Amino acid sequence: MTAVIQFLDTPDGAFGIIADDEGRVLASGWTGDPAALLARITPVLRPASVEPGEVGAAAEAALAYYDGEVTAIDGVRVLQSGGVFHQMGWDALRTIPAGSPLSYQQFAAALGRPSAVRAAASACARNAPALFVPCHRVLRTDGSLGGFAWGTPVKQSLLARESRAAR
């Protein structure tokens, strides 16, 4: 499979998107390094080659998000591969409203497994199409940011942007 990679300038720095030939986002994140994005893609979906180009709707949605339309990312198609719990987690992340983050404990409970906090956190950590599958909307139980593959300053910026838009 050949994929396309595009980099956008955002207030949070370079934002890269890798999409397959059907326009589904395989990986995205705040980096200008194609290898960092490729490493996020599970081997079964990792493309044989990546060519610079335009990713279409995903790029438009990311730019609209940064222009204040934080729900623009909701309809972007993504493709990830993982176990049943991770797939369920990734689907559930897309239902968390902008401006209303959950704790990892609340997220685990929303998945029907309130004691599976570590597994819920693992779904966030293994999420490749960041922003479009908004794992940044899950926080530690004490309200602190917790981890984020692209750095906590980016996570904090995204949450602040969404909080402002929700008001």
Which residues are catalytically annotated? 135
Q: What is the DSSP string of 100-162?
A: --EEHHHHHHHTT-TT-HHHHHHHHHT-SBTTTS-GGGEE-TTS-----TT-HHHHHHHHHHH
Cβ-based neighbours of 105, under 8 Å, separated by 6 or more = 114, 117, 141
